Amino acid sequence: MGMVASAALMNDEDLFRSYSAELTRYANGLVGPFDAGDVVTDAWLKAVSSANWDLVIDRRAYLYRTVLSVATDHHRSTLSRRLREVKVARPESFEAPLVDIDVLRAVNRLSIQQRAAVHLTYWNDLTSEEVAERMGVSVGTVKRHLSRAKKRLKEWLA
């Protein structure tokens, strides 16, 4: 029995236990570590309370799309406030992390859809087909998001 079929047969509690860690890693790439857990919890509640939840065949993909939707809403409502808070809270002697901060800032400037495609492709090593399935879009859309993200990152980091 494949993962999709077995996911449809799991009860909600087992399903949450199976996918919460990977959904949290995914959300971490979209909204950062401080809000990832909240985004996953909100997405989970939104998904299971949906009138269509019992009709969903591929619940894993549905949960990924719901996390993306909740992350998009979260991004819209909190990004500018968070950036202001970080600027004020960060001391001048802030030590740079191991990852180039300019790259992180550039990736955070991408649209939420582009960031999701970049995260799933480069951090999770998924194929475009797998990314498309998890995001609920076509393979062409994933490739377009990646192409635009690469172009913007190249411009911003030049």
For residues 75 and 72, what is the distance between their CA atoms, to the nearest angstrom?
Answer: 5
Q: What is the pLDDT of residue 31?
A: 86
Q: Hey, what domains does the chain have and what are their CATH numbers?
A: 1-91 (no CATH), 95-158 (1.10.10.10)
Angle between helices 12-31 and 33-48 (to 10 degrees): 140
* Mean pLDDT for all residues in the chain: 83
Q: What is the pLDDT of residue 117?
A: 92
For residue 22, give both structure tokens.
Answer: 């990977």
Global confidence as pTM: 0.57
Rounded percentage of the chain residues whose pLDDT exceeds 90: 47
